[in-house]
Structure 1
Amino acid sequence: TSRPKVAIKISEGTNEVLIPSLLSGKIDMVVGRLSTLRYRERITREKLIEDRIVAVVGPEHPLAGKPDVSFEQIRPYGWLLPPLETTLRRQVDQFFVNQRHYVPPRAIESVSYLANRALLQSRDLICLMPEEVTAQDVGNGNLARLDWTVPFGRGPIGISLRADDSLSPAARAFKAALHQVAAERAA
């Protein structure tokens, strides 16, 4: 609110799509799961919070509200998965291999939160998402968190910036606001 006339454009996508746009100067920053692999020497990373991946379903899903859900109970259901090129998807696929080469009966790839939420509310699907992303919808009953501990996927959420570039005053103010909100949530 300190800069009410500044226009902000939000682009949704994976790091594999957004980081090249960051490096080319098309976007000023990427806010999300901090990339650990490529471009390390060209990107500055600033951690905001530590987040974990949780399994979420629609409120009418047969497993919603059940205590101590096991992977055996999850096996019959379809999944909403991140795209193949993402770190989370590689972790999911490795987990599935370790579960006697489990193959989901149905799988839909999507990074769109709105599409994922709509699909979860209308189908018996399971989706793995960052806990912070789902907190509001879980809190108001639009989604339900499964009582199953995802055995992977904990990681930092933060800001990725071009290492050799300075931000505009508006972008610096936005970055400072992100850090302030993260600090308030951690307190």
Structure 2
Amino acid sequence: MFLTTPLLSLACAAGGLVGTAALLAPGTALADHQHPGTASTHGSAKPVAKTKAQVAAVEVSGAWVRATVPGQSGTGGFMSLRSKDGPLQLVGFSTPVAGSAELHEMAMDGNVMRMRPVASLDLPAGQAVELKPGGHHLMLMSLKTPLKAGASVPVVLQLKTPEGRVLEQRVSVPVRSAAPVGTPVADTHEHHSH
């Protein structure tokens, strides 16, 4: 996993990440990774899958994290995910810039739009699944430093196979003030503190 030192968080915010470029190659899978002393990284009895290095389980496109202002404790992450070889589930993610990271969705509850955590998101084989404002998204909470436009955030996607194996794929996600041109945007939800 990534170091969670304040120095790394500052380097992330500045877009530096000196000495970690090999760990943050966009769209690559984490090979042979397992936390010491555990059978799994995610609470199941199944071990983390050992995948070939540099093989991505999902194609990631249009990724971005919304920039923050000082004092803002949370923000959203968005991207399009396409499982390349078979169905998968996105079951979580982690990042060293946030104290807490959850999958969330925005959904109508009566006449009120509410945000809530979800345990997983299906990624059918070959189909693009959008994580976007106003829908499913990554929620970065208890931020350790403001995230400035132009920086990059390291993210580890946690993907589950139909057999129950958990794969991890690292991506470097740019921080932006607004969605990239052509990206679906359903609302202007700002992801302030929760």
TM-score bracket for this pair, using the shorter chain length: under 0.3
Bigger relative contact order (CA 8 A; separation at least 6):
1
TM-score, normalised via structure 1 length:
0.24
Query: Which is richer in helix?
Result: 1
